[in-house]
Amino acid sequence: MMATHPVWQYDEFKQIGTDYESVEEVARYDKRMSSLRNIDEECAAIIELLDLGPDSRVLEIGSGTGEFAIAAAKQCAQVCAVDISQIMLDYAREKAISRSVNNIQFARAGFLTYDHDGKPFDAVVTQLALHHLPDFWKAIALRRIWHMLKDGGRLFIRDVVFSFNVDDAASYLDKWIDGAVAVGGERLGQNIESHIRDEFSTFDWAMESLLRASGFSISRITNQDNRTFAEYLCKKV
Ligand SMILES: C[S@@+](CC[C@H](N)C(=O)[O-])C[C@H]1O[C@@H](n2cnc3c(N)ncnc32)[C@H](O)[C@@H]1O
């Protein structure tokens, strides 16, 4: 049973930006991601980076259409895949069944509401999801993750994070939108516009402070050339 939360708690179940409670949007997202990303390579790199193996227990938050959870479940003892969208969870569960993977526990919950009562996790992974929370709530989310990890456990984050100077924001954001239109058409460009306007991507310096204040050391930061994506490999200290 999900715990009750104070009335002032941020409602992480409301959809912001893209509506992931729409069956059509979720199918479109899955198709788009498989054409824009090399998913198998990405998943293998994260599994290697986190040194996941047959005994590992992993939590993924914002698991989306299930690609990472399924790849990790093939290598690990147990994967918990958490997402606020029931449609995403149903889609990922179907995909796992179709690939004969049966050691994933799916849960409808999020960064602020997932309650873990088992053994601490070896690793937590979250990709393209933390930006759904404003910065104050990102800190709460990161500290909740810290509590769910074993000592020395690893956190991998990949997200839209801005590493340009504030004064250069407009030119980098315009370039990002133009690049998206070039590879994915007008619709992807509109998704990027609504991401910037309606979602909560933050600056790299804010993200680094949030991670350290939440009790993590940052082992590796990788920024993309366009300065709109970053990856963080962190350790619970
Ligand atoms: C852009 S998709 C990313 C999906 C997947 N991780 C990937 O890399 O393709 C964002 C996902 O985060 C989920 N999400 C949004 N807010 C969330 C929250 N507060 N807690 C957990 N998941 C959330 C959405 O439902 C959606 O499935």
Contact 109, 12 (CB under 8 A): no
Per-residue confidence (pLDDT) for residue 2, from 0 to 100? 58
pLDDT tens per residue, range 157-172: 999 999 999 999 999 9
pLDDT tens per residue, range 96-113: 999 999 999 999 999 999
The closest residue, in CA terms, to atom 18 on ligand 1 is 110
Mean pLDDT of all residues in 50-58: 98
CB distance 62 to ligand 1 below 6 Å? yes
Quote the distance between the C-alpha of residue 162 and its chain's center.
16
The Cα 9–Cα 130 span in angstroms is 16
User: In the chain, what are the domains?
Assistant: 23-162+202-236 (3.40.50.150)
Judged on CB neighbours under 10 Å (0-12, 13-18, 19+), 102 is: exposed
pLDDT tens per residue, range 129-151: 999 999 999 999 999 999 999 99
CB distance 60 to ligand 1 below 6 Å? no
The Cα 160–Cα 167 span in angstroms is 18
HSE, side-chain direction, 13 A CA sphere, residue 225: 2
The closest residue, in CA terms, to atom 5 on ligand 1 is 64
Residue among 20, 22, 111, 135 to mutate when testing ligand 1 (max atoms within 8 A of CB): 20
CB distance 201 to ligand 1 below 6 Å? no
CB distance 211 to ligand 1 below 6 Å? no
Show Cβ contacts of residue 67 under 8 Å, excluding neighbours closer than 6 positions. Answer: 33, 39, 43, 95
Contact 212, 218 (CB under 8 A): yes
Global pTM reads: 0.97
Per-residue confidence (pLDDT) for residue 38, from 0 to 100? 96
66, 167, 183, 192, 194 from 178: Cα distances, Å:
29, 19, 9, 10, 14
The Cα 62–Cα 47 span in angstroms is 17
